[in-house]
């Protein structure tokens, strides 16, 4: 092992020791504060016997503050435990400790591939297993496709090398991408599943037509009811109101479809939320190639958090229906459900337009981060110089192999 590799290994081991020491300190703080809880309670009850309710109220406040602090320490510990897992996995990759390197999704070998099986490119204890740090199926698959590419494109190799060179020293950027995801979910992301669902047709035209009719009936009903209330006319408001109810109840299937859609969209995109927000706010500085790759997350028109805020607002609005009394009052006064079902379908359509671009950029970034992490762990490995005059390449191929030399 070279001096560079030894230095990198020692740096990671020192980082792991610092995290473990910090976890021990946090655990000691949490235990120390938890010991005070029964004493505060007993003291508050005892003093309340002689001094009234004031000591008991003070004790309750102190216990509440202690519980909040206990919970806060628990969140910090969870974050440090995930950070420890990330660094321990990096050390396992250096040591070829296969048991502690997460396996990528296993897929059958490509039939008749010229070198996949011979060189152990995919599968357990393979190059793909060693290098892959992706948290999504798409990112892992893209890296696998690059490793199996038989006709490289020099232009794309050079482009990816430029991005990887920028990513190699950004170890904190790479680690925080993974940390932000692990804070939300331990399951691998499946963007294609969400993408397929986004393209399932929604009954938007049915909901839109019902919304227009219901809004007109609601206005007529309000006018007629005011006239009846003021004694200007008989109870004609019953007719448009009954018609309004018929329209509402005959569109329950479309409403349920829309509400289920936004809840699923919220749950799935919530896994991406912290990652997308991190990519939006990260200071890219002079890393122009990386910034260009992340452009879909930075555009003012398609910035992901704008859509996430809209989805959160829609989920909050339909959550008011949990209270049946409030749901009845809202829908009697206005076509509440139909209005938000229409907004949900519009939001789903916009996400169906924007999400493929986000997913493509994210998959590309994940594959490049995997290679950059490998290059960071092995600083003595080199980037090859691509000689186009001697490279028999396919001009139209948009895939590239591993953009630096391996020692084996």
Asked if 135 and 94 sit in the same domain, the reply is no
Asked if 80 and 131 sit in the same domain, the reply is no
Residue 322 pLDDT greater than 60, yes or no: yes
Residues 6 or more apart whose CB falls under 8 angstroms from that of 175 comprise 83, 86, 87
Residue 205 pLDDT greater than 50, yes or no: yes
Residue 266 pLDDT greater than 80, yes or no: no
Asked if 243 and 108 sit in the same domain, the reply is yes
**Structure token digits, residue 58:** 């003070």
b/e sequence 179-208, b meaning 16+ C-beta within 10 Å: bbbbeeeeebbebeebbeebeeebbbeebe
Asked if 72 and 137 sit in the same domain, the reply is no
Asked if 82 and 132 sit in the same domain, the reply is no
Q: Quote the radius of gyration of the chain (alpha carbons, Å).
A: 29
Task: Read off the pLDDT band of 302 (50, 70, 90).
Answer: low
Asked if 375 and 274 sit in the same domain, the reply is yes
H helix intervals, 126-251: 127-131, 137-148, 154-167, 171-182, 191-198, 204-229, 238-249
* pLDDT confidence of residue 255: 74
* pLDDT confidence of residue 202: 67
Residue 404 pLDDT greater than 50, yes or no: no
Instruction: Write out the residue range of the structural domain in which residue 324 sits.
Output: 102-408
**Structure token digits, residue 82:** 């995930």
In this predicted structure, which of 58-67, 210-219, 265-274, 354-363 has the lowest mean pLDDT?
A: 265-274
Work out how many domains the chain is built from and give that number.
Answer: 2
- Name the region of 283 (left: φ>0; alpha: ψ -120 to 50; beta: rest): beta
Asked if 75 and 133 sit in the same domain, the reply is no
More confident residue, 151 or 390: 151
Residue 73 pLDDT greater than 80, yes or no: yes
Asked if 185 and 258 sit in the same domain, the reply is yes
Q: Give burial (CB, 10 Å; 0-12/13-18/19+) of 275.
A: buried
How many residues are there in the chain? 408
* pLDDT confidence of residue 169: 92
Report pLDDT digits (tens) over 27-40. Answer: 888 887 777 777 77
Asked if 77 and 142 sit in the same domain, the reply is no
Average pLDDT, the chain: 81
In this predicted structure, which of 41-50, 114-123, 245-254 has the lowest mean pLDDT?
A: 41-50
Report pLDDT digits (tens) over 228-244. Answer: 778 787 877 778 778 87
Predicted TM-score (pTM) of this structure: 0.76
Asked if 113 and 45 sit in the same domain, the reply is no
Bridge partners of residue 337, in order along the sequence: none
Task: Read off the pLDDT band of 405 (50, 70, 90).
Answer: very low
Instruction: Choose one of 83, 99, 115: the last residue of a domain.
Output: 99
Task: Read off the pLDDT band of 395 (50, 70, 90).
Answer: very low
Asked if 128 and 173 sit in the same domain, the reply is yes
Residue 21 pLDDT greater than 90, yes or no: yes
Task: Read off the pLDDT band of 406 (50, 70, 90).
Answer: very low
Q: What percent of the chain has pLDDT over 90?
A: 22
Asked if 111 and 233 sit in the same domain, the reply is yes
């Amino acid at each position: 092992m070279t001096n560079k590799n030894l230095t990198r290994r020692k740096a990671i081991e020192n980082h792991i020791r610092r995290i473990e020491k910090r976890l021990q300190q946090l655990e000691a703080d949490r235990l120390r504060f938890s010991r005070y809880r029964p004493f505060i309670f007993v003291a508050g009850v005892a003093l309340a016997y002689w001094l009234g309710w004031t000591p008991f109220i003070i004790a309750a406040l102190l216990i509440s503050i202690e519980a909040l602090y206990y919970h806060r320490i628990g969140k910090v510990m969870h974050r440090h435990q995930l950070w420890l897992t990330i660094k321990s996995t990096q050390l396992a990759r250096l040591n070829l400790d296969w048991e502690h390197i997460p396996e990528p999704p296993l897929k059958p070998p490509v039939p008749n591939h010229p070198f996949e099986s011979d060189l152990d490119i995919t599968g357990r204890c393979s190059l793909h297993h060693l290098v892959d740090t992706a948290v999504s199926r798409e990112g892992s698959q893209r890296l696998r496709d690059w490793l199996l590419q038989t006709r490289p494109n020099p232009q794309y190799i050079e482009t990816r090398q430029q991005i990887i060179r920028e990513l190699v020293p950004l170890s904190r950027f790479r680690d925080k991408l993974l940390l932000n995801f692990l804070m939300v979910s331990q399951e691998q992301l499946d963007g294609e599943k969400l993408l397929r669902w986004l393209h399932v047709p929604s009954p938007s035209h049915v909901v839109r037509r019902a919304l227009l009719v219901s809004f007109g009936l609601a206005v007529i009903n309000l006018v007629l009811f005011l006239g009846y209330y003021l004694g200007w006319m008989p109870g004609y408001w019953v007719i448009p109101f009954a018609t309004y109810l018929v329209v509402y109840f005959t569109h329950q299937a479309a409403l349920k479809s829309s509400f289920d859609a936004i809840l699923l969209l919220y749950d799935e995109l919530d896994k991406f939320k912290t990652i997308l927000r991190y990519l939006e706010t990260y200071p890219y500085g002079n890393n122009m190639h990386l910034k260009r790759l992340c452009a879909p997350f930075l555009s003012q028109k398609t910035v992901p958090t704008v859509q996430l805020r809209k989805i959160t607002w829609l989920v909050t609005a339909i959550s008011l229906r949990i209270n049946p009394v409030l749901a009845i009052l809202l829908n009697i006064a206005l076509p509440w459900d139909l209005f938000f079902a229409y907004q949900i379908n519009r939001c789903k359509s916009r996400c169906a337009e924007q999400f493929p671009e986000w997913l493509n950029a994210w998959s590309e970034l994940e594959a490049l981060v995997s290679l950059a992490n490998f290059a960071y762990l092995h600083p003595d490995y080199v980037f090859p110089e691509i000689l186009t005059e001697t490279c028999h390449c396919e001009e139209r191929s948009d895939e590239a192999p591993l953009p630096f030399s391996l020692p084996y």
